[in-house]
Amino acid sequence: MRAGAIQTTAGPDRQDNLDAAAALVDEAAAGGAELVVLPEYFSVAGSPSYLREHAETLDGPTVAWGSEQAARHRIHLVAGSFPERRTGTGPDDQRLFNTSCLIGPDGAVAAVYRKIHLFDVDLPGTAFRESATMAAGDALTVAPLLPASSAGRPPTVVGLSLCYDLRFPEPYRIMALEGATVLVVPAAFTSATGPAHWELLLRARAVENQVFVIGAGQVGALPPGMPACHGHTMIVDPWGTVLAELVGPGPGVALADLDRDRLRQVRADLPVLAHRRPEAYRWPDDKLRGTVGPGG
């Protein structure tokens, strides 16, 4: 399967953003991509008030656009993320979800993921509190793309995540154990943290779980209310090798083949997942973090 990772710079107008993304999806599909991944907030980006004003439901314009693109090109499309309006009426329902959708070649939504880890930080040059606008999701999402082949190639199963999730290894290991062979990371990784951590974390998630990882990023200055973004969209293989990357300051497409034989060979040569010893693992009580237990 050939994958395309798209890098964008979202502006203040949703239709302009969708039109720009469509041109890049066209480019990826023309390059043979069967799986295309868009960045976080690729269609709607801006201040908390702007996100609330332009929030959508799952039958809104962003998902409708994604369905049209996927069906027209007969591809699997990860529609980055968009601010999803919640349908409840309670006080907490005034917050939104940061939502990603996997759309199949028939144009139907195959899977939905709502970002679990919210970006609440106060770093030099970057102060952001995503939880003021967004509510955290509470479920991981994996979805099949291709079945196992008669030649013994493993199935292609995608695990969905978003941006800040990348810093938490637990969900990626769980998704790998649930069968994910491709992990996607639509992101708006900041210019403050990206140079030090983005490539490092993408490659670490690929190596430790022996999967392909696709990081599709925003790049440059976003509308007011959002930090400037690092970009460096990448596709990484199960050995940690960077198969394709975008290092320039603007939008573009990175293309790479996700070789299932390569994944099978890495897992056979270095069977890390098979060597796990879950019977020896004990999850610590969060209330006791920092204390020393028996045996030091």
- Please state, in angstroms and rounded to a whole number, the distance separating the CA atoms of residues 203 and 234: 10
Distance of CA 128 to the CA centre of its chain: 19
Would you call 229 a catalytic residue per the annotation? no
127-145 exposure pattern, b = at least 16 Cβ within 10 A, e = fewer: ebebeebbbebeebbbbeb
The one catalytic residue among 40, 84, 130, 245: 40
Q: What is the dihedral of CA 268, 271, 273, 279, to 10 degrees?
A: 140
The one catalytic residue among 84, 101, 163, 229: 163
- Please state, in angstroms and rounded to a whole number, the distance separating the CA atoms of residues 261 and 198: 27
Would you call 287 a catalytic residue per the annotation? no
- Residues 23 and 202: beta-carbon distance below 8 Å: no
**Helix spans in the chain (H):** 14-30, 48-53, 61-73, 169-177, 194-209, 260-269
Residue 267: exposure state from Cβ atoms within 10 A (0-12, 13-18, ≥19): middle
- Please state, in angstroms and rounded to a whole number, the distance separating the CA atoms of residues 272 and 208: 8
Sole residue written with tokens 């040059």: 125
The one catalytic residue among 115, 130, 229, 245: 115
Would you call 163 a catalytic residue per the annotation? yes
Q: Which residues are catalytic?
A: 40, 115, 163
